[in-house]
Structure 1
Amino acid sequence: MADKKRLGKTDLYVNPIGLGTNAVGGHNIYPNLIEETGKDVVRTAIDNGINFLDTAYIYGPERSEELIGEVIKEKGNRSEIVIATKGAHKFVGGKIVLDNSPAFLREAVENSLKRLQTDYIDLFYIHFPDEGTPKAEAVGALKELKDAGKIKAIGVSNFSIEQLKEANKDGYVDVLQSEYNLFNREVEKEILPYTKDHNISFVPYYPLAAGLLGGRYTKETTFNDGRAKNPLFQGEAFVRNLEKVEQVREIANAKNAEVAHVVLAWYLTRDSVDALIPGAKRPEQVTNNLKTLEIQLTNEEIEKISRIFQE
């Protein structure tokens, strides 16, 4: 099994391949999910050495946390698992609004603790910034919860560089989670240098760009979901993007690996990217994701992949 990586300045050590669980009980994201299959996904992850589980209130809502709590209680190995969850969303008059106020964050943490059936959360993220709450004030509330033993580490998610700097004014931020993939490298400009300089771990989401970087699509593939409106999947752009993926396939074939494994391994060569949280809808996808850890990229291969996707 892979050497564990430390998250930022914390005492949390994780397998570099974690598990994103929006397909575990995330009925509002994926229709027709079978909850027992979702629980099997979590069991398979834990049984195969994955100790970093990423969830959120809004996955379900609430249901993902509940299912993970059930599995961890059943397994009886809470101290070996690093649970990350997120809060910021609430329903007001049937509509979802964002709230980062200290009072709301305290309530969100207490509610997550109940759903997860645990007395502490390893990593709690502010899921999205709201418009009104000063970022350092929101993080300050999490610092109080950390001091009280309710959480062990503080994360923020989807924060711009300006918001991140404000949130980290007192040096309390341990982890940042944001979108990052080979088609969207915006965070490389300012965010990754900042996280490196301030010993903040960066956890990317959307690493395979809705499957485009998984290497399983062809020019003939059609989509009838959200991808149909995604610019990456449209017309000539889609064809050019597939050509880039095929160049990565040459590297993957030489290693007897899949494109997705090579792409995920590339992220782990980036400064401050200490862990990945690819999702899975079926148990076999969990064990397949772990094959990423067998990939060793040379400096030449790392540079080549970077060049392929340089716009």
Structure 2
Amino acid sequence: MPRTVRTMIGVSRGPASGDLFEQSPSRLLEQHGALLTRRMYKWSAGFEHELRNYSGVITGIARSQVDNDVTSAVKVYSVPFGADRARRADLDRVPRHPITDLSDLSPLGELVDGAYSRSMDHTALTAAVAGLERRFGPYRLKRVSLGLDTNDFGEEKLYLDAEIVADDGAHAGAVFRSFRRDSRGDLVVCNESMRLKEGYRKQGFARSLSASLEEYYRRCGVARIEVKTEDDGGLVWAKEGYQWNSRRDLLAASLANIRTRLDAVVDSGTISSADKSLLEDYRGRLQVNSETIPTPAELAALTGDARDLGERIMKDSVWHGVRYL
């Protein structure tokens, strides 16, 4: 197994036992599944998806054998931690809808480059994404618009906005996204916001839209998706497995806000002494220089005597997140 992956997972070659990754996958998972799950969880809220990905680098193992062994092992190890349990339980309450095929959309890189070079104006850009005006789960996108604009910091980005419409034609909300290339030329998406009116939430639209767009982004070579949370997004994006944006100033701002949210829960007078002690321990880890900063998903799933400790902290929190594709 490549050294970088071995180091990332946190296991090493032992002189007595030989190389851990020379074992059969079934034996490997039987003996070390819990360890692998803990390590893998840092990079994904879902153990099964990541283990299938990383299993491909274990040399000499047929893919079919890996799939069979992983499927068996996942029954034992797939939901060992609170964050994953919370995420799966939350998703199970939301109706499931198929991913919408966006393969007919123009490549995102061409649109970004066309906008910045001024070879595509607002009319041409909007026409290129007209295919987004379709159903995503229970609702549809309408009045999609794409064009260059400048934000409050003087940054010029390609912005997309669209209305969310229910089957009866009622206005259900709005979606805003922005696209750019970073200093290395990588494509970056920012989930600016998605707002759904009361009565239209938790019906599967957000999940369907996000999954459909992520498939499109991957095909277009997008490097990462960034988000600055607001309102319910502080909890939602945490449960979706977004990590802290590691840029130092953004990480500092994120952790400062979470500390403030945590302090408010501690000072509320509604939690036990044991829960206060637990939160004080977590507060000490919410520092930029800490080697054990809890992930957003870990915080969202935090429970004590009060089962909703983490949700109270993360709901309405403001933090900068990222998902690498």
Give yes or no for TM over 0.5.
Answer: no
Instruction: Select the structure of larger CA radius of gyration.
Output: 2
Task: Give the structure, 1 or 2, with the largest relative contact order (CA under 8 Å, sep 6 or more).
Answer: 1
TM-score (norm 2): 0.28
